[in-house]
Structures are given as C-alpha cells and as structure tokens.
Amino acid sequence: MIVAENLIKRFGSIYALRGVTTEIPEGMTLILGPNGGGKSTFLKLATGIYRPTSGKIYVFGEDPWKSEKIKEMIGVSYDPPSFPKFITGREWLMLFASAKGHGEEEVERVAKLFNIGFLEKRIGGYSSGMLKKLSVAQAFIGEPKLIFLDEPLANLDFKSIAKFVRLMKKLKTSEEASFVVISHIWEPLLPLADKVLVIADGKLVLEGDVDDVQEKVEMLFRPKVDIEE
C-alpha cells in the first residue's frame, strides 16, 4: 500500500526524517517511536500534508502530495485533533461525508459504529475524550481502503482504551480496510498488528512482522528500572 524510498524531510536545518525506506502492506501496521522521532512526519508525508524534501513516497501507487484520488481512498485522524468550536459534531462529519459523495446515512453509520451520542452538541463543549472519538470517527467516513490513526488511545481512560481495542479488533475484519496506527501506548495494540515500524531520530531503526520483532519492541519500550540496594 505504501512505498517509501530514501524519504527525507527537513525543516530548515532540522531533519525530521533521514532516508527512510520501507514498504507497508495490507493489514495493520503499528508505527512506534519516541516523541519527536519522526512518526507524525511520516504520517503527514503519507497523507499529503507535507511534501518530501527528497526521496519518494507512494500510496496505492500515487504521489499523495499531488494525487486527488488518494484523498478519496484514505481516512485520517490526526493528533492533537483540531476542530472549529462553533459547529456540531454532526456538521463536522457531514463535511467529510459530502466531500466523499455521501450523505446523512454515512454519518449515522459511523456514529453507530463508535456509539457517539453527542453529535448535536457544539464541538467547543467537548471533553478531550469526545474530541478524540470524533477525530477517529472522521477517519472512517466513506469506508476508505486505508485508515491512518495518529495516537488513537491518547486522552482515553483505561476503560475507553479497552473498548477501543475491542472495536479495532472487530473493525480490522468487518471494515475491509487496512490501518496505519501511530501510538506511544503500544502494548494494547501490539496483538492486533501485523507489522511494526520503529522510527527514532528520523531513522527507521526496526521493522518486521510482529511475531519476529515483538521481543525487540518490548526491550526498546518497556521501562528499565534499576533498584539499588
């Protein structure tokens, strides 16, 4: 689905990505790494928000910076979510539905999928958890073939995280879509993933099928506690 070739993104003298080369297949790919490591930059290059400084990235064989076709095939939830405060959640989702040639029935489908009961309220009155749920819901409008989720578990309590992971397990088969998920809360999502990428300091430092790299992922991200006697 996604092919990156020597992908470089620089902001002035600062390198956000330093020559990333990878291929992301169908299924669910989990992208991990420290804050500021380049994960979100990769996401924004893949979704056409940023243009590469050099190198190439293709999504379904298309250049996401140039292709309008790609916008119809993908859904995206960015973190932190950013919304206009004075419209309702329903109006926001209708913007996405209309842009993809759908109507009110598509908004209702997604609202039911995520059990959203607050769409009639103005977004300015939403809690952080409600904002996150709306952001994730927007990514599913139009039944896209590829869904990008940036920190989907952020600002959720433990109960909501458990609910979301159960939902993702169901959606992975029922939606007939593939997923690219960026999350620093990795342990609940690892059993659902097919492939893992680790991006740190702008470089791809680890990639592979979950079964092959799970032990290395746990060594990288589980905190090491030294107890002095």
Q: Provide the pLDDT confidence category of residue 224 given band limits of 50, 70 and 90.
A: low
In a domain, 86, yes or no: yes
pTM: 0.91
pLDDT digits (tens, 9 = 90+) for 89-112: 999 999 999 988 999 999 999 999
In a domain, 191, yes or no: yes
In a domain, 228, yes or no: no
Domain that holds residue 188: 2-215
Q: What is the CATH number of the domain that holds 50?
A: 3.40.50.300
In a domain, 88, yes or no: yes
> Residue 187: is its pLDDT beyond 80?
yes
In a domain, 24, yes or no: yes
> Residue 143: is its pLDDT beyond 60?
yes
SS (H, E, C) the chain: CEEEEEEEEEECCEEEEEEEEEEECCCEEEEECCCCCCHHHHHHHHCCCCCCCEEEEEECCECCCCCCHHHHHEEEECCCCCCCCCCEHHHHHHHHHHHCCCCHHHHHHHHHHCCCCCCCCEHHHCCHHHHHHHHHHHHCCCCCCEEEEECCCCCCCHHHHHHHHHHHHHHHHHCCCEEEEECCCCCCCHHHCCEEEEEECCEEEEEEEHHHHHHHHHHHHCCCCCCCC
pLDDT digits (tens, 9 = 90+) for 47-81: 999 999 999 999 999 999 999 889 889 999 998 88
